[in-house]
């Protein structure tokens, strides 16, 4: 079954965004040491990113609801690239936190707009698999990108990891410019129309399942910095555990 190249470009973008979100968990001790803060304080960089996704993402979508979807996707990737470059150049903790929050604004909107575009490029019976292909980039970022980025960060500095993420983002941006078609919007949307979805009970049930599911993931990851060193003599063994954990997530998808 063949899919348009554009969907693969969206998957590359998803890979970069997923890597940017999760790779920092394995680099917290390095960042804490460089900025002279505790690991717990460095961990707030994860919280800041999450808040940017949860709060800033929906607001950004509402503000740009009438934009052309391809243009919006390009703007989002631009924000993502510039944000990660700023992270890599951050001279202090405060600027890095600000850069992470700015970067996070592209996260939720990219997956929402990207999945719609992916579905619009194939026949109706292939829409679900087209969206799954795009989200495969997110799963692969956990399986391949995060361990690779952690390895790079621990050996060449965490700044290099975010430079690599920026480069992957640039590749995705170029691919989107070239391959994603420009389409006219046939359905007019409004903020009020979009907010009606909040009345759906199934939405809140899905959000609850997602909340508890990802909470278990993050609990596992944070064990690395507090208890796992008592059980493992090499962080590489823990990386192997993480790879198998995320591989299970990929299979579920």
Q: Are 106 and 154 members of one domain?
A: yes
- Residues of the chain above pLDDT 90, percent: 51
Instruction: Identify whether residues 97 and 217 lie together within a single domain.
Output: no
Average pLDDT of the residues in 60-89: 91
Same domain, 53 and 118: yes
In a domain, 102, yes or no: yes
Rama region for 158: left / alpha / beta (φ>0; ψ in -120 to 50; rest)? alpha
- Tell me the percentage of the chain whose pLDDT exceeds 70: 78
Indicate the number of domains in the chain. 2
pTM assigned to the model: 0.81
Please tell me the predicted confidence (pLDDT) of residue 176.
Answer: 95
Q: Are residues 136 and 29 in the same domain?
A: yes
More confident residue, 251 or 31: 31
pLDDT at 140: 93
Residue 53 lies in a domain: yes
Q: The tokens of 26 are what?
A: 């394995």
User: What's the 3-state SS for 204-217?
Assistant: HHHHHHHHHHHHHH
Q: Is there a single domain that holds both residue 182 and residue 208?
A: no
The answer on 234 and 118 residing in a single domain is: no
Domain region containing 235? 200-244
In this structure, the answer to whether residues 182 and 219 fall within a common structural domain is no
Residue 195, domain member (yes or no): no
Residues 6+ apart with CB under 8 A from 19: 141, 145, 146, 149, 165, 168
Mean pLDDT for the chain?
83
Q: Which domain CATH number covers 163?
A: 1.20.1250.20
Give the per-residue pLDDT at 238. 52
pLDDT exceeds 50 at position 232: no
């Amino acid at each position: 079954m063949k899919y348009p190249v554009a969907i693969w470009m969206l998957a590359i973008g998803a890979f970069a965004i997923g890597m940017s979100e999760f790779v920092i968990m394995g680099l917290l001790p390095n960042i804490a040491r460089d900025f002279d803060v505790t690991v717990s304080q460095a961990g707030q960089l994860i919280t800041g990113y999450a808040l940017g996704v949860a709060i800033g993402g929906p607001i950004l979508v509402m503000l740009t609801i009438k934009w052309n979807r391809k243009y919006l996707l390009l703007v989002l990737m631009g924000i993502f690239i510039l944000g990660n470059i700023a992270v890599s150049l951050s001279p202090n903790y405060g600027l890095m936190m600000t850069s992470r929050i700015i970067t996070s604004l592209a996260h939720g909107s990219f997956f929402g707009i990207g999945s719609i575009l992916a579905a619009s490029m194939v026949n109706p019976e292939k829409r679900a698999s087209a969206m799954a292909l795009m989200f495969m980039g997110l799963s692969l970022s956990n399986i391949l990108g995060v361990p690779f980025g952690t390895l790079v960060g621990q050996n060449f500095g965490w700044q290099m990891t975010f430079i690599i993420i920026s480069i992957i983002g640039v590749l995705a941006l170029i691919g989107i410019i070239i391959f994603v078609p420009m389409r006219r919007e046939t359905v007019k949307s409004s903020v009020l129309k979009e907010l009606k979805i909040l009345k759906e009970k199934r939405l809140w049930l899905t959000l609850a399942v997602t909340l508890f599911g990802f909470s278990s993931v993050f609990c596992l990851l944070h064990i690395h910095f507090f208890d796992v060193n008592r059980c493992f003599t090499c962080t590489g063994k823990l990386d192997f555990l993480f790879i198998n954990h995320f591989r299970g997530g990929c299979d579920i998808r």
